[in-house]
């Protein structure tokens, strides 16, 4: 599995970063983003993305297990 950030090439992205990319961009995407680059891309803050992760976890989203 290619879990490298497609922008900054950060390696070993966390499950949360990959889950969030899938959830917010496209579940079939092969271009993963680290949380910082994803925040830049979506023009939100890292804090907002962390809140989203917690929300998705509470919903029981399988991408974050």
Closest separation in Å from C-beta 59 to Zn ion: 25
**Which of residues 37 and 64 has its CB atom nearest to Zn ion in the complex?**
37
The set of residues, in sequence order, having a beta carbon less than 8 Å from that of 58 and lying 6+ positions away, is none
Residue ranges in contact with Zn ion by CB under 5 A: 5, 7-8, 10, 34, 37
> Of 41, 40, 18, 38, which Cα lies nearest the Cα of 29?
18
Smallest gap from Cβ 18 to Zn ion, in A, equals 12
- Shortest reach from residue 41's CB to Zn ion, in Å: 9
How far apart (Å, rounded) are the C-alpha atoms in residues 11 and 9? 6
Nearer to Zn ion, 15 or 65 (CB): 15
């Amino acid at each position: 599995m290619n879990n490298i950030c497609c922008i900054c090439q950060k390696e070993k992205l966390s499950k949360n970063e990959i889950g969030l990319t899938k959830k917010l961009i496209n579940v079939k995407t092969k271009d993963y983003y680290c949380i910082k680059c994803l925040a830049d891309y979506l023009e939100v803050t890292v804090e907002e993305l962390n809140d989203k992760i917690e929300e998705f976890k509470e919903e029981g989203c399988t991408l974050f297990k």
